[in-house]
C-alpha cells in the first residue's frame, strides 16, 4: 500500500477528478440541460409528470435536481459514518461511481417527451451517484497528504477535472456541430439546424464510459482501510454513534462551525449557478447552443488558471482573505448577469466576458473551500469520511435551498431568471458576512 504523501497515491486520488468531472460539465451544465429543453419544447413549455400536466419544464428540472441533492444529504452522513467505522470508504465510493456512470448512460433512452420519466429519473440517479461518490473522495484528502499540501493537491484535482472534461466536451462539440463526420447524418447540417437527438444520446453514453473507465486507476491505488479497523457485527448502530460523536466534536470547534455556515450560503449560490448557467443563457438571453457550449468551455479553461492563481494568493494572504475576494467576485457576477441586455446584438460577447469572470473564481472557490475544511479537521481523528460528510451535506442542502429558491423566484416573477439570479447574490453576501467571523488557526490564516 502506498504511504501518505506518496506522489503516485496523490496523483491517483486527483485523477478521479479527471474521471468524474465530465458529469458536471457535460450532463449538469453544458449538454443535457440544452437537450432537455430541446426535447421538452423550449422556453416556457408545459410538460406532464407524475400526473400533473402544468409543469414548467425548467421549473421541473430545478426541482428534480433539488430532490437528488436532498437524497444525498440524507444518506451520506449515515453511509460515511458507517464507512469510517468499517474502514471501507473505497467500496462506497465505487458503488456511487457505478450508480452514477450507468445512470448517465441510461439517458441514452431519453429520446422524446413521452420518455420524460427516463430523463428525470436517471438524471436524479446520476446526480446521486456523482455527489455520493464525492463524499468519500473528498474524505481521502486527509489520508493521502499532509495539511500543508492540501491547498496545492486540492487545486491539482480540480485542474485535472477541468482539463479532462474540456477534452471530452470538445469532442462532443464536434459531434454536435459535424454529425456527418461520425455517420449520424449523410450531409452537413443546414444553417440553424440542430443535430439529431441520437448525437446527444451518444454523448451521454461516452460520459458514462469515460467516468467509469478512468476511475479504475484511482480505485486501484486508493487504500481501502488505512486505519486497519475491524468492525463488530452491529456496525450500523456503531456508525450512527460515530456520526453523533463527530457532530459533538464539530460543535466544540467554533471555527469549523462558522466555516460550514459560510460554506452553506456560498454553495447555495455557486452550485445553482453551475447547474443553471446554460439554461439562463438559453432561455433568458436566447443564445444559440454553440455559443452556450463555447462559453462553458471558456469557463472551464479560465477555471484552470483561476485555481492556480488563487492557490498561490492564498499562500501569501491566507485562505480566509482569499475566499473573501472570490465571494465578492461572485456577487459581481450575479449583478452583471442581472444587467445583461438580452436584446443587445453584442449579448454573446457580454456573456463570454461574464463567463470568463465566473471561471476565474469557480475553480478557486471550490479548491480553497475543500482544502480549508480539510485543514480544520483535527489531525488526530480517523473519522475523515464522517467529518467530510458534514461538509458534503452542507453543500447538498445548500444546493437544495439554491435550486428551490431559483425555481420559486421564477414562479413568482413570471418565470424571469433575472430575479432568481439576484436571490443568489443575497446568499453570497450573507456568506461573506459569516466568514468574516472566522478566526485563524494553525493551518488556516
Q: What angle do CA 394, 400, 406 make, to 5 degrees?
A: 130
Grid-cell match 471501507, residue found: 88
Is the separation of the CB atoms in 166 and 158 below 8 Å?
no
The answer to whether residues 434 and 262 touch, using CB atoms and an 8 Å cutoff, is yes
The reported pLDDT for the residue numbered 355 is 84
Q: Which helix (H) or strand (E) holds 126?
A: helix 116-139
What confidence score (pLDDT) does residue 265 get?
A: 93
Low-confidence residues in the chain, pLDDT < 70 = 1-2, 5, 80-87, 147-148, 191-192, 225-243, 342, 379-386, 389, 415, 442-445
Cα(177)–Cα(189) distance, integer angstroms: 8
What's CA 158's distance to the chain center, in Å?
Answer: 11
Decide if 154 contacts 141 (C-beta within 8 A). yes
Output phi, psi for 44, to 5 deg: 75, 5
pLDDT at 5: 64
CA 1/CA 42 separation, integer angstroms = 52
Dihedral angle over CA of 67, 72, 77, 78, nearest 10 = 90
Q: What is the pLDDT at residue 214?
A: 96
Given this model, what pLDDT does residue 80 score?
A: 67
Burial-class residue 427 by CB neighbours within 10 Å (0-12, 13-18, 19+). buried
Cell numbers that stand for 209 in this block: 464510459
Q: Count CA atoms closer than 13 A to 51's CA, side-chain side.
A: 0
pLDDT in tens, 211-252: 999 999 999 988 876 555 555 555 556 656 666 777 777 777
Q: What is the largest CA-CA distance in the chain?
A: 67
Cα distance between the two ends of the chain: 33
pLDDT of residue 205: 96
Q: How far is CA 102 from the centre of its chain?
A: 18
Annotated domain spans of the chain: 7-223+236-435
Question: Which residues in 223-242 are b (16+ Cβ under 10 Å) and which e?
Answer: bebbeeeebeeebeebbeeb
pLDDT for position 328: 94
Residue identified by cell 466576458 is 353
Which secondary structure element, helix H or strand E, spans residue 225, and what is its range? Answer: none
Map residue 47 onto helix, strand or coil: strand
Strand partners, 46: 56
Check if the beta carbon of residue 288 is closer than 8 Å to that of residue 341. Answer: no
The CATH number corresponding to 7-223+236-435 among 3.40.30.10, 1.20.1250.20, 1.10.1740.10, 3.40.640.10 equals 1.20.1250.20
Q: How far is CA 30 from the centre of its chain?
A: 13
Amino acid at each position: 500500500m502506498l504511504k501518505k504523501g506518496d506522489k503516485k497515491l496523490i496523483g491517483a486520488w486527483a485523477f478521479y477528478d479527471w474521471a468524474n468531472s465530465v458529469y458536471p460539465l457535460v450532463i449538469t451544465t453544458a449538454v443535457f440541460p440544452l437537450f432537455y429543453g430541446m426535447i421538452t419544447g423550449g422556453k416556457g413549455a408545459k410538460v406532464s409528470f407524475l400526473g400533473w400536466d402544468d409543469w414548467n419544464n425548467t421549473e421541473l428540472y430545478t426541482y428534480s435536481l433539488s430532490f437528488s441533492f436532498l437524497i444525498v444529504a440524507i444518506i451520506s452522513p449515515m453511509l460515511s459514518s458507517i464507512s469510517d467505522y468499517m474502514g471501507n470508504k473505497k467500496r462506497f465510493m465505487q458503488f456511487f461511481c457505478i450508480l452514477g456512470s450507468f445512470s448517465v448512460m441510461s439517458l441514452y433512452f431519453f429520446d422524446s417527451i413521452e420518455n420524460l420519466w427516463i430523463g428525470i429519473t436517471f438524471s436524479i440517479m446520476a446526480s446521486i451517484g456523482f455527489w455520493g461518490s464525492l463524499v468519500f473522495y473528498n474524505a481521502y484528502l486527509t489520508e493521502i497528504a499532509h495539511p500543508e499540501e492540501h491547498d496545492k493537491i486540492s487545486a491539482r484535482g480540480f485542474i485535472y477535472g477541468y482539463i479532462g472534461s474540456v477534452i471530452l466536451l470538445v469532442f462532443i462539440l464536434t459531434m454536435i456541430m459535424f454529425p456527418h463526420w461520425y455517420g449520424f447524418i449523410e450531409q452537413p447540417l443546414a444553417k440553424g439546424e440542430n443535430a439529431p437527438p441520437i448525437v446527444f444520446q451518444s454523448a451521454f453514453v461516452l460520459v458514462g464510459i469515460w467516468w467509469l473507465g478512468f476511475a479504475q486507476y484511482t480505485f486501484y491505488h486508493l487504500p481501502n482501510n488505512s486505519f486497519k479497523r475491524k468492525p463488530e457485527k452491529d456496525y450500523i448502530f456503531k456508525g450512527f454513534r460515530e456520526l453523533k460523536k463527530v457532530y459533538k466534536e464539530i460543535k466544540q470547534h467554533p471555527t469549523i462551525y462558522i466555516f460550514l455556515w459560510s460554506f452553506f450560503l456560498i454553495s447555495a449560490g455557486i452550485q445553482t449557478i453551475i447547474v443553471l448557467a446554460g439554461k439562463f443563457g438559453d432561455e433568458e438571453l436566447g443564445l444559440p447552443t454553440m455559443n452556450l457550449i463555447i462559453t462553458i468551455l471558456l469557463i472551464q479553461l479560465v477555471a484552470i488558471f483561476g485555481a492556480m492563481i488563487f492557490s498561490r494568493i492564498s499562500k501569501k494572504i491566507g485562505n480566509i482573505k482569499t475566499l473573501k475576494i472570490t465571494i465578492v467576485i461572485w456577487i459581481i457576477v450575479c449583478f452583471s448577469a442581472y444587467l445583461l441586455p438580452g436584446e443587445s446584438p453584442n449579448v454573446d460577447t457580454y456573456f463570454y466576458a461574464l463567463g470568463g469572470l465566473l471561471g476565474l473564481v469557480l475553480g478557486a472557490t471550490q479548491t480553497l473551500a475543500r482544502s480549508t475544511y480539510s485543514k480544520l479537521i483535527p489531525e488526530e481523528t480517523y473519522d475523515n469520511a464522517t467529518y467530510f460528510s458534514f461538509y458534503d451535506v452542507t453543500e447538498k442542502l445548500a444546493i437544495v435551498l439554491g435550486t428551490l429558491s431559483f425555481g420559486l423566484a421564477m414562479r413568482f416573477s413570471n418565470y424571469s431568471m433575472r430575479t432568481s439570479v439576484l436571490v443568489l447574490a443575497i446568499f453570497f453576501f450573507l456568506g461573506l458576512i459569516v466568514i468574516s467571523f472566522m478566526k485563524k488557526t494553525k493551518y488556516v490564516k
